[in-house]
Amino acid sequence: MDFFSGGVESNGRLGPIPLLPLIKLNVRISRFTFLQNGIVVVESALGMKQLFVLSVLAIFSAFAGEMERFAFNDKKMPSGVEDLKAIQKSMQSVLEKVRAATVCVELGQGSGSGVIISEDGLILTAAHVTSGVGKEVTFVLGDGRRVKGESLGLSSDSDCAMAKITDKGPFPFVEVDKEDQSKLGDWVFSLGHSGGYNKDRGVGVRIGRIVKSTDTTVQTDCSLIGGDSGGPLFDMHGRLIGIHSRVGPTITENMHVPTREFVLHWDKMLKGEFLGEGPFAKKPKKGTGFLGCGSEDREGKLVVTKIGRESPAEAAGIKVDDILIKLDGTDIKDKKHFQAMLAEKCADDKITVVLLRAEKEISLTIKLAER
């Protein structure tokens, strides 16, 4: 792809903005000049000039993917009050939006944080917060609304995970920096529901800088404590650049999973895959899934004889004398075959059972408990 080169000026050289989405050229562009009535003079690196008529919308769309880099990011420390005011202004300009998209993640007896990245409720968080795939989750929005959802895929090696709100949106969301534009020393700020959701307190905000960066981890000196895990790390444009992973020896030594790690596993996590053998989430073991119903073979049919109290079978509505026909689309031959198929399932797996009751087929989706 061909790019402009140089700094941004109204009548001069431009920063690295892709031109090809606007005009199809096979030469490198070095300069352009705005004339009246939307006419642009484009000059190639070889000195050739050509006129183009571009709408104002098209011109601005060329700049949509790039944001001006803040000068204070390239200084070892703020040089004065003006730099401090600029840092404050940049954060305040995006704070309301990013706060609205930061959620409290409630799962079991624990809680963490996460951030919504799409209008329909896709969420990024940490693998050690969701701790598994296909789990039922409650998300608490900034205004106190509680919505239902489920955990999607995760990478147990790098501590990144996805989840999804299953209630109907739209929901507030933030932009993800998939281009990995942050640099060492950049000013950043973190959000999180420390210690769980508290409407009176709201989402905690802590500012700091990137002090170290590796392929799979970004370290900052933003203060984090329990409950912040899975929460978002933003650059000063309000773009999501990481997810909180681990608190260091002190509250100002903290590790975050960079968005580049999410991009690497994006499609597989979206499909609900459990990736890796790492320490941040325990991979479910086959044979740990529990349905909670007894059965016996009768005249070539598998008949339910007993239902466990408060079991997944009871919750799904399976009844004594139901005839079990299929499990996940496979015909059930007999009790031994049914048990063998269940032995391949893990706790929290969702199965589909087709049964016959009063000569009517009924299909049930059941989430297995842990044996």
Tell me how far CA of residue 196 lies from CA of 122, 148, 233, in angstroms. Answer: 20, 17, 18
Within 10 angstroms of residue 297's Cβ, the number of other Cβ atoms is 13
| Distance from C-alpha of 252 to C-alpha of 171, rounded to nearest angstrom | 31
pLDDT at 350: 87
Burial of 56 (0-12, 13-18, 19+ CB in 10 A): exposed
Domain ranges for the chain, please list them.
1-66, 69-283, 289-370
Tell me how far CA of residue 296 lies from CA of 47, 246, 343, 345, in angstroms. Answer: 86, 50, 17, 20
* Cβ–Cβ under 8 Å, residues 91 and 208: no
* Cβ–Cβ under 8 Å, residues 104 and 193: yes
* Cβ–Cβ under 8 Å, residues 29 and 43: yes
Please state the separation of Cα 32 from the chain's center in Å.
39
| Distance from C-alpha of 48 to C-alpha of 27, rounded to nearest angstrom | 10
DSSP per residue, 250-308: STT-EEEEEHHHHHHHHHHHHTT-EE---TTSPPPPTT-EE--EEEEEETTEEEEEEE-
The pairing of beta strand 146-155 with beta strand 274-275: parallel
> What is the CATH code of the structural domain delimited by 289-370?
2.30.42.10
| Radius of gyration in angstroms for the set of CA atoms belonging to the chain, rounded to a whole number | 27
pLDDT at 68: 83
pTM score of the predicted model? 0.71
Tell me how far CA of residue 160 lies from CA of 38, 139, 147, 157, in angstroms. Answer: 46, 17, 22, 8
| Distance from C-alpha of 98 to C-alpha of 187, rounded to nearest angstrom | 16
Which DSSP letter does residue 3 get?
A: B
Q: Check if CATH label 2.40.10.120 holds for domain 69-283.
A: yes
Amino acid 144 reads G
Which DSSP letter does residue 332 get?
A: P
Please state the separation of Cα 45 from the chain's center in Å.
42
Within 10 angstroms of residue 201's Cβ, the number of other Cβ atoms is 10
pLDDT at 42: 52
What is the residue-level pLDDT of the chain in tens, covering all 371 positions?
A: 333 323 333 333 333 333 333 333 344 444 545 444 444 555 544 444 444 444 434 443 444 445 789 999 999 999 999 999 999 999 999 999 999 999 999 998 889 999 999 999 999 999 999 988 988 999 999 889 999 999 999 999 999 999 999 999 899 999 999 988 999 999 999 999 988 888 888 888 999 999 999 989 999 999 888 789 999 999 999 999 999 998 777 787 899 999 999 999 999 999 999 999 889 988 878 888 999 999 999 999 999 999 999 999 999 999 999 999 999 999 999 999 999 999 999 888 889 999 999 999 999 999 898 88
Structure tokens at 86: 């600029």
Tell me how far CA of residue 226 lies from CA of 126, 129, 194, 202, 249, in angstroms. Answer: 13, 11, 6, 15, 13
Cβ neighbours for 14, distance < 8 A, ≥ 6 positions apart: 4, 5, 6, 7, 8, 32
| Distance from C-alpha of 100 to C-alpha of 120, rounded to nearest angstrom | 14
Amino acid 93 reads S
